[in-house]
Structure 1
Amino acid sequence: MQVLLVDDDGALTRFLERGLAEEGYTVTSAADGEAALELLEAMLPDLVVLDLNLPRRDGTEVLAALRARHAEVPVLVLTGRSEVASRVRCLDLGADDCLLKPFSLAELKARCRALLRRRGGTAHLVLRHEDLEVNRVEHTVQRGGREVALTRTEYALLECLMLHRGRPVSRARLLEEVWHESAENGTNIVDVYVNYLRRKLGDEGPAPLIQTVRGLGYAVGMPVARRETFWTHA
């Protein structure tokens, strides 16, 4: 789940990045309004957490521009402006929720979950393949109706594979998206964690859910005929 966090307070940004990452979100940050709008076009996040007091372009300007381009992206506004008129204006401009500073991290997380449940439909938020279900709001995994306990990294790896289901995902891309590392480091951590996932999912039979695509990486839900085509050209 991609979150765009927009705030020019470095200490608060780092605190929120850690807190949201603990929930399994992938967080990208911007410290001013112009950078926020550029990132919005580049990544099209699942959720925007937006402060109002920003350099270069004010948060209300960012909100108005965001809504004009992307009506479907949920926006949680953070504000230290206690006057009711300021919050009403944000809601009128298209904010889905406003949270007054100071706030608790637990409340911010709960509001993020609520916004993600309300917006976008379940097809994007609950990923399914065969008897596997990944809930991207609650960060839970079930297989055959049984809940599977995963670490944060294991969950992020499975989510990435499920988001690309039907296509192979290279080790380099998995390293970048899950571990934020370069393939130049020469690590085998992807293979290690795929094995962890397979064991926890009970996925070690002759036809595993997580498939190895020779020379290309790993895949979930790739048809046999398509895998053979990849192997032919590998």
Structure 2
Amino acid sequence: MKVLVVEDEQALQDQLKAALNKEGYAVDQAFDGADGLYYAEEYPIDLAIIDLGLPKINGLDLISKIRELGKDFPILILTARSRWQEKVEGLSRGADDYLVKPFQVEELMARANALLRRSSGFSSPVIRKGPIELNSSSKQILVDGRELDLTAYEYKVLEYLMMHPEKVISKTELTEHIYEQDHDKDSNVLEVFVRRLRKKIDPEGNLKPIETLRGRGYRINPDL
């Protein structure tokens, strides 16, 4: 899943990127509101974390502009301001949640995870499809009760497919959402991830958990 962090404080940017990467998120970074708007308009984003006190375009105006573009990904506000009126204004502009600085990274991760779940239509961190159980909080995958040992990118691929169970996901879309913007994106590597996932989930070849629709992309088997 792709997270955009718009924050002008370098130290906090570094901290958030490290924490989000550790949890398996791809992170795009912007240090002012103008760059944040560019990323939001030009690149696929699953969640934006936006500081209110930004240069060039402030956080409140940035949120308004993002919503005016028709972008509906969830937005989490970061603010050093404690006045309730400013929090309400942020939510009224189109944000979905907020955190007041200073905050614990663990709380931010929990809120980010919850926003991503809800935006995909899931109320629980545990997503089930047939015998496959994915816990988006613990990043644990079970198949018929046995835990799978997945690499970070194998998990990212499966999580994105599980979060969009009725949708055919093109290679381009999947690549854009699991890699950071400056990463060398190779669709052949994506095919390797999918092939390894199939073997790990379904070693006997009975489930057919991930379908390939020629010329269109991948999806979780709707018959699971």
**2:110 alignment counterpart:** 110
Q: Which runs of no fewer than 5 residues in structure 2 stay unpaired?
A: none
**Deviation of the 1:59 alpha carbon:** 0.6
Q: Is the 8 A contact 1:154 1:197 kept in 2?
A: yes
Q: What one-letter code is carried by the residue in structure 2 that aligns with 1:155?
A: Y
TM-score (norm. length: structure 1): 0.69
Higher helix share: 1
**Deviation of the 1:73 alpha carbon:** 2.2
C-alpha RMSD of the superposition: 3.9
Q: Which runs of no fewer than 5 residues in structure 1 stay unpaired?
A: 223-234
Matched residue SS, 2:8: coil
Q: Pick one of 184, 203, 210 that aligns with 1:181.
A: 184
Q: Is the 8 A contact 2:179 2:185 kept in 1?
A: no
Go from structure 1 to structure 2 and tell me whether the alpha carbon gap of 1:219 and 1:12 turns closer, same or farther (over 3 Å shift): same
After superposing the two structures, state which structure 1 stretch, 144-153 or 71-80, moved more: 144-153
* Distance of 2:118 and 2:211 partners within structure 1: 33
**Deviations 1:8-37 (CA, angstroms, capped at 9, x unpaired):** 122211211110122222211111111111
* Distance of 1:9 and 1:45 partners within structure 2: 21
Aligned-pair identity (%): 36
**Deviation of the 1:158 alpha carbon:** 3.3
Go from structure 1 to structure 2 and tell me whether the alpha carbon gap of 1:126 and 1:43 turns closer, same or farther (over 3 Å shift): farther
* Distance of 2:45 and 2:157 partners within structure 1: 18
**2:85 alignment counterpart:** 85
* Distance of 2:149 and 2:196 partners within structure 1: 12
Q: Is the 8 A contact 2:4 2:28 kept in 1?
A: yes
Q: Is the 8 A contact 1:133 1:142 kept in 2?
A: yes
The aligned length equals 215
After superposing the two structures, state which structure 1 stretch, 104-113 or 130-139, moved more: 130-139
**1:66 alignment counterpart:** 66
Q: What one-letter code is carried by the residue in structure 2 that aligns with 1:106?
A: E
**1:152 alignment counterpart:** 152
Which has the larger Rg?
A: 1
